[in-house]
């Protein structure tokens, strides 16, 4: 059988009929129609720099049509609210459920269904965004007009079962001076690893008002029979700040795009990304930063560990147009390969029109586990396996430590440790050298 995938879409369910059903009485149909046309017209990878590296063979999702879901937000029981959290929102094939704690209510946090005609910016340029804009079947908006919400908002995204798709949109709007933190947990019920037959597509659309600050963390630990595509687009007002931490651990195929539109003067983003691929996993991740405001800051760090037959493509484009005076931008992509059959590709590109930059730099490295470090740790009484585990976890720790909630960081450490143990156990021979 010839394996068809996102790479040679059209998906059989990306049709006019499907978008008519999803627009439930016609609301948003014009927007979906435009997006569907863009989806069919756009190449899977629109950036010529990266065209040779797109690899989506691991997904076979053309039968996985999205169901029409209720747009209403149902109440979740208070017992589901994790300790220390301000609110919990769950989004799944059952629709959206939410519970807002007292602090969230007092701060004026709003969680509402996303308007069916809400436009999705970027849908005319990016194929994944176009797919979601045309066929999204669930979505909500979080708004915080002002004030500070110190406890995090937990968003649980539950992937659909095999043979179906969930295309979810999450819009976040913070008003002037508002502060919030969000933790996304992206998971699904356990299933055997294999070719992905279920698609999870998410769009995170964040708009930050002047001086707003947002801490956004995402831990993706999907079963390895899922395909996960995501687009994130962050628009910054003056002096707005975003701290973004993304961990990609699960799924058979992950394709992600992040856009930082640093339009507001003095705005900044600090992004840390950890990627752990094992087995036959493929990660294809791109970050675009546009420093169009003055004195904006971009500090982007990605760390990838690849074992088994995993392939990782970590790409970045930092653009500093003429308007971006005083930009301070750094892009770092660092990889560690744990097996002879793993592959790491890094393409950190810079595109600079403004000489008056404070910093415009990138760095990347790929290396094995340093034998001197293993030797040292063994001399301190660790076994070989313990030493390797310690070194890999240490490599990833700067990213893990950036998660705002200690409980989340601890959970990620556990997820990574389990995965690492699995990867190391499978390859004793390769690592014995």
Partner 1 sequence: MTVAKETVRDEREQYAFHDDITYLRETKAGLTEATVREISATKDEPAWMLEYRLRAFKHFESRAMPMWGGDLTKLDFSKIVYYRKPSEREEKSWDDVPDQIKKTFERLGIPEAERKFLSGVGAQYDSEVVYHSVREDLQKLGVVFMGTDQGMKEYPEIFKKYFGTVVPAEDNKFAALNSAVWSGGSFVYVPKGVEVPLPLQAYFRINGQNTGQFERTLIVVDEGASLHYIEGCTAPNWATDSLHVAVVEVIALPGAKVRYTTIQNWSNDVYNLVTKRAHAHAGATVEWIDANTGAQLTMKYPGIYLLGEKAHAEIVSVAVASKGQHQDTGAKAVHLAPNTTSRIVGKSVCKDGGVATYRGTVRVAPGATGVTTSVRCDALILDEGSRSETYPYIDIQEDDTSMSHEATVGRVSDDQIFYLMSRGMTENEATNLIVQGFLEVFTKELPMEYALEFNRLIRLEMEGALG
CA atoms 194, 198, 204, 205: torsion sign = positive
Write phi, then psi, for 211 (nearest 5 degrees).
Answer: 60, 10
Considering the rule CB under 8 A, would residue 310 count as an interface residue with partner 1? no
Long-range Cβ pairs for the range 93-98 (8 Å, 24+): 93/67, 93/69, 93/158, 93/160, 93/161, 93/164, 93/166, 94/69, 95/69, 95/70, 95/71, 95/138, 96/71, 96/72, 96/138, 96/140, 97/73, 98/73, 98/74, 98/140
Considering the rule CB under 8 A, would residue 339 count as an interface residue with partner 1? yes
Considering the rule CB under 8 A, would residue 353 count as an interface residue with partner 1? yes
Q: Any idea what DSSP says for residue 6?
A: G
CA distance 389 to 386: 5
Neighbours of 266 (CB within 10 A): 19
Considering the rule CB under 8 A, would residue 382 count as an interface residue with partner 1? no
Closer residue to partner 1 in complex, CB, 148/340 = 340
Q: Tell me the helix, strand and coil percentages in the chain, rounded to 5.
A: 20, 40, 40
Considering the rule CB under 8 A, would residue 343 count as an interface residue with partner 1? yes
Which listed range, 54-62, 247-255, 338-346, 374-382, lies at the site for partner 1 (CB under 8 A)?
338-346
Closer residue to partner 1 in complex, CB, 270/325 = 325
Q: 423: exposed, middle or buried (C-beta count within 10 Å: 0-12, 13-18, 19+)? A: buried
Provide the 3-class DSSP secondary structure of residue 160. coil
The residue within the footprint of partner 1, chosen from 294, 354, 392, 424 (CB under 8 A), is: 354
Considering the rule CB under 8 A, would residue 391 count as an interface residue with partner 1? no
Closer residue to partner 1 in complex, CB, 74/322 = 322
At closest approach, how far in Å is the CB of 304 from partner 1?
Answer: 11
At closest approach, how far in Å is the CB of 389 from partner 1?
Answer: 16
The residue within the footprint of partner 1, chosen from 54, 196, 200, 338 (CB under 8 A), is: 338
At closest approach, how far in Å is the CB of 353 from partner 1?
Answer: 5
Identify which of 247, 237, 259, 184 has the alpha carbon closest to the alpha carbon of residue 215: 184
The residue within the footprint of partner 1, chosen from 3, 359, 401, 418 (CB under 8 A), is: 359
Closer residue to partner 1 in complex, CB, 48/190 = 48
At closest approach, how far in Å is the CB of 92 from partner 1?
Answer: 38
At closest approach, how far in Å is the CB of 374 from partner 1?
Answer: 13
At closest approach, how far in Å is the CB of 372 from partner 1?
Answer: 12
The residue within the footprint of partner 1, chosen from 49, 78, 94, 106 (CB under 8 A), is: 49
CA distance 404 to 270: 13
The residue within the footprint of partner 1, chosen from 1, 48, 102, 372 (CB under 8 A), is: 48
Q: 147: exposed, middle or buried (C-beta count within 10 Å: 0-12, 13-18, 19+)? A: middle
CA distance 19 to 132: 11
Which listed range, 25-33, 252-260, 267-275, 359-367, lies at the site for partner 1 (CB under 8 A)?
359-367
Considering the rule CB under 8 A, would residue 287 count as an interface residue with partner 1? no
Which listed range, 58-66, 147-155, 161-169, 343-351, lies at the site for partner 1 (CB under 8 A)?
343-351
Considering the rule CB under 8 A, would residue 164 count as an interface residue with partner 1? no
Closer residue to partner 1 in complex, CB, 248/344 = 344
Considering the rule CB under 8 A, would residue 372 count as an interface residue with partner 1? no
Considering the rule CB under 8 A, would residue 75 count as an interface residue with partner 1? no
What is the β-pairing status of strands 95-100 and 87-92? antiparallel
Residue identified by tokens 């394709």 is 255
Considering the rule CB under 8 A, would residue 428 count as an interface residue with partner 1? no
Q: Which residues bind partner 1 (CB under 8 A)?
A: 48-49, 322, 335, 337-357, 359-368, 430, 433
């Amino acid at each position: 059988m010839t394996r068809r995938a996102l790479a040679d879409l059209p998906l059989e369910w990306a049709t006019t009929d499907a978008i008519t059903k999803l627009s439930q009485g016609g609301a948003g149909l014009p927007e979906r129609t435009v997006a569907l046309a863009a989806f069919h017209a756009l190449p899977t990878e629109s950036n010529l720099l990266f065209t040779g590296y797109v690899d989506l063979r691991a997904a076979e999702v053309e039968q996985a049509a999205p169901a029409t879901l209720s747009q209403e937000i149902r109440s979740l029981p208070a017992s589901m609210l994790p300790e220390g959290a301000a609110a919990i929102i769950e989004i799944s094939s059952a629709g959206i459920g939410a519970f807002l704690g007292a602090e969230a209510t007092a701060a004026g946090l709003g969680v509402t269904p996303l308007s069916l005609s809400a436009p999705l910016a970027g849908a005319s340029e990016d194929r994944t965004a176009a797919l979601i804009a045309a066929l999204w079947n669930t979505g909500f908006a979080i708004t915080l007009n002002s004030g500070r919400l110190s406890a995090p908002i937990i968003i649980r995204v539950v992937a659909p079962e095999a043979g179906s798709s969930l295309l979810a949109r999450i819009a976040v709007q913070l008003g002037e001076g508002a502060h919030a933190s969000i933790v996304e947990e992206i998971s699904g019920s356990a299933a055997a690893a294999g070719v992905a037959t279920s698609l999870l597509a998410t769009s995170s659309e964040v708009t930050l008002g002047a001086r707003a600050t947002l801490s956004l963390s995402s831990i993706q630990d999907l079963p390895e029979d899922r395909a996960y595509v995501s687009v994130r687009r962050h628009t910054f007002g003056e002096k707005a700040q975003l701290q973004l931490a993304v961990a990609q651990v699960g799924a058979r195929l992950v394709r992600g795009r992040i856009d930082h539109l640093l339009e507001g003067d003095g705005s900044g983003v600090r992004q840390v990304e950890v990627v752990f691929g094992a087995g036959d996993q493929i990660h294809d991740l791109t970050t675009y930063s546009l420093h169009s405001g003055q004195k904006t800051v971009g500090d982007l760090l990605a760390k990838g560990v690849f074992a088994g037959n995993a392939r990782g493509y970590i790409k970045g484009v930092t653009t500093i147009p003429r308007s971006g005076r005083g930009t301070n931008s750094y892009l770092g992509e660092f990889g560690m390969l744990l097996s002879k059959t793993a592959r790491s590709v890094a393409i950190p590109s810079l595109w600079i029109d403004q000489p008056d930059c404070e910093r415009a730099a990138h760095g990347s490295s790929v290396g094995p586990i340093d034998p001197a470090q293993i030797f040292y740790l063994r001399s301190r009484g660790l076994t070989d396996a313990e030493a390797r585990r310690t070194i890999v976890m240490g490599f990833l720790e700067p990213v893990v430590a950036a998660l705002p909630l200690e409980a989340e960081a601890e959970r990620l450490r556990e997820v990574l440790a389990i995965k690492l143990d699995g990867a190391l156990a499978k390859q004793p021979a390769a690592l014995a050298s």
